[in-house]
């Protein structure tokens, strides 16, 4: 007689759902996944998974199991500013308004703000966040309940001589955190030296970079025409304005900073730029010559669109179709609650769908899953359900209608698992 051996793999748990939404392959009806520790070890039809794995079965019933959502651009520092700043006449008026609000916040308030933001983002099904903070030194006092890429937001507009020092101290504050990057704020608040120092550090430390670019009409007016309220405000506080009156923000970025930039400068600082890929927030204000540049550009950076913040400011329409056709990886973000009302990526998907009704719900879903995972260089581990991915998951009600439309329409608090732990 031969001994009967069980050829099934021992696994922590099997999670079954009406549909498993893999995000990069077709959804699996009556699907299941096997989770071992903090990882997904298998995904497929429930019967196949049961045949291959031993483990307690956790049946989610009539729900769709999804990869956790990824917010590609956020500032949790300002969670407490929700509802404090009504839409302003101009972008510079908004900067004045937020600066007035910020002046009233203490480090304690910022910590509370960040913690509140984390709790809210998680409640709405965000399991990974790219969060810019102006206070990297506060990070050790915060316990992030979701996977976080901390970006130090850097501004040297009032002290450009301290660009290197600023970037180096951010590096010191962040290099103990697991996932981090640098965020020179924007071309109008961060000097070229600061951008270059951040690129040097990114190259050396293999970290990510993000920035705000071509967000408002006033930014375009400032750089292209050397005029307008933003130009006047920054000139007034002593910013050298010699980069204004000629180029568009995108031209300036590509010429001297972003991937594919000036070969001389790249050689001078020893950086092979195409290896540095920026996550660029906004990109709302582009001229026809900018579009030509983007079409020709070899290095396609990642672009984050923040639909509700975009509506709040009344920016020019986001050129989704053209940017997508040029091969840019487009992600969604919430931006901060100083220009948005909640940290829900479901609401962000709905706002995007309203703006671009011809884009399929499935493609919109990818902008909060596989696309931002790629921007964070985590395409194997995050944003999808497959063997080897982190067990960061959500479940939302599914009635058997159009799956992705149902996902986007979801309102409420989903079932959540992060790193294999039910929340
Ligand atoms: Zn932002």
Quick: pLDDT tens for 267-305: 444 444 545 689 999 999 999 999 999 999 877 899 999
> What pLDDT is attached to residue 24?
81
* Residue 88: burial class (beta carbons within 10 Å; 0-12, 13-18, 19+): middle
User: Which of 41-50, 261-270, 391-400 comes out lowest in average pLDDT?
Assistant: 261-270
> Among 3-12, 194-203, 272-281, 398-407, which is the least confidently predicted range?
3-12
Compute the distance from residue 208 Cα to the ligand 1 centre, in Å.
Answer: 16
What distance in angstroms lies between residue 293's CA and the mean position of ligand 1's atoms?
24
For the record, the structure tokens of 71 come out as: 């917010």
Separation between Cα atoms, residue 304 and residue 344, nearest integer Å: 15
For ligand 1, the distance from its centroid to the CA atom of residue 398, given in whole angstroms, is 33
pLDDT band at 311 (very low <50, low <70, confident <90, very high): very high
79 backbone dihedrals φ, ψ, rounded to 5°:
-55, -35
| Confidence (pLDDT) at 3 | 43
pLDDT in tens, 209-249: 999 999 999 999 999 999 999 999 999 999 999 999 999 99
Give the whole-angstrom CA distance, residue 319 versus residue 336: 22
- Label residue 255 by pLDDT band (50, 70, 90): confident
Distance 186 CA to ligand 1 centre (A): 9
- What's the gap in Å between 42 CA and the centre of ligand 1? 37
* Whether the Cβ atoms of residue 303 and residue 263 lie closer than 8 Å to each other: no
CB atoms within 10 A of CB 290: 21
pLDDT, tens digit, 9 for 90 and up, residues 33-48 = 999 999 999 999 999 9
CA of 168 to the centre of ligand 1 (A): 22
C-alpha of residue 211 to centroid of ligand 1, in Å: 8
Take residue 253 and report the two structure tokens written for it. Answer: 């970025």
Looking at residue 260, what is its pLDDT?
Answer: 43
Which phi and psi (to 5°) does residue 154 adopt? -115, 130
The yes-or-no verdict on residue 310 having pLDDT over 90 is: yes
Q: Does residue 54 contact residue 10 with C-beta atoms inside 8 Å?
A: yes
Total residue count of the chain as it appears in this document: 423
Q: Under a CB-based contact definition with an 8 Å cutoff, are residues 16 and 32 in contact?
A: yes
Q: Which residues contact 268 (CB under 8 A, 6 or more apart)?
A: none
Model confidence at 8, pLDDT cuts 50, 70, 90, reads low
Whole-number Å distance, alpha carbon 335 to ligand 1 midpoint, is 5
* Residue from 86, 107, 211 nearest 152 by CA: 211
Is residue 244 a contact partner of residue 257, using CB atoms and an 8 Å limit?
A: no
Say what the pLDDT of residue 9 is: 64
Contact 220, 285 (CB under 8 A): yes
CA of 73 to the centre of ligand 1 (A): 6
Distance 226 CA to ligand 1 centre (A): 23
Lowest-confidence region among 51-65, 253-267, 311-325: 253-267
């Amino acid at each position: 007689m031969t001994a009967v051996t069980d050829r099934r793999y021992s696994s922590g748990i099997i999670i079954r759902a009406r549909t498993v939404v893999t995000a990069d392959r077709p959804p699996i009806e009556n699907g299941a996944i096997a989770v071992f520790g903090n990882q997904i070890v298998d995904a497929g039809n429930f019967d196949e998974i049961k045949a291959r794995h031993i483990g307690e079965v956790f049946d989610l019933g009539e729900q769709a199991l999804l990869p956790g959502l990824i917010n590609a651009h956020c500032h949790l520092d300002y969670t407490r500013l929700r509802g404090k700043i009504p839409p302003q006449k101009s972008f510079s008026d908004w900067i004045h308004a937020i600066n007035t609000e910020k002046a009233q916040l203490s480090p304690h308030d910022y910590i509370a703000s960040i913690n509140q933001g984390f709790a809210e983002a998680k409640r709405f099904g965000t399991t990974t966040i790219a969060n810019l903070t102006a206070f990297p030194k506060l990070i050790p006092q915060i316990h992030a309940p979701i996977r976080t890429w901390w970006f130090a937001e850097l501004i040297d507009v009032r002290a450009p001589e301290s660009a290197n020092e600023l970037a180096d101290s951010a590096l010191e504050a962040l290099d103990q955190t697991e996932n981090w990057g640098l965020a020179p704020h924007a071309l109008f608040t961060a000097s070229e030296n600061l951008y270059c120092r951040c690129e040097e550090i990114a190259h050396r430390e293999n970290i990510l970079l993000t920035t705000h670019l071509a967000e408002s009409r006033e930014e375009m007016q400032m750089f292209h025409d050397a005029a307008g309220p933003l130009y006047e405000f920054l000139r007034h506080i002593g910013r050298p304005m010699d980069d204004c009156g000629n180029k568009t923000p995108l031209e300036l970025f590509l010429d001297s900073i972003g991937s594919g930039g000036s070969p001389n400068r790249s050689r001078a600082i020893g950086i092979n730029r195409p290896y540095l890929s920026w996550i660029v927030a906004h990109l709302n204000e582009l001229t026809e010559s900018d579009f030509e540049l983007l079409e020709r550009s070899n290095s396609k950076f990642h672009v984050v669109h923040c639909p509700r913040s975009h509506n709040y400011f009344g920016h020019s329409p986001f050129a989704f179709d053209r940017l997508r056709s040029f091969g840019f990886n487009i992600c969604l973000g919430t931006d901060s609650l100083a220009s948005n009302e909640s940290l829900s990526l479901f609401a962000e998907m709905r706002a995007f769908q309203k703006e671009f009704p011809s884009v399929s719900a499935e493609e919109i879903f990818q902008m909060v899953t596989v696309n931002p995972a790629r921007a964070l260089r985590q395409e194997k581990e995050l944003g999808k359900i497959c063997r080897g991915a982190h067990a960061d998951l959500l479940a939302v009600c599914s009635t058997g209608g159009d799956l992705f439309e149902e996902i986007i329409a979801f309102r409420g608090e989903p079932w959540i698992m992060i790193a294999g732990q039910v929340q």
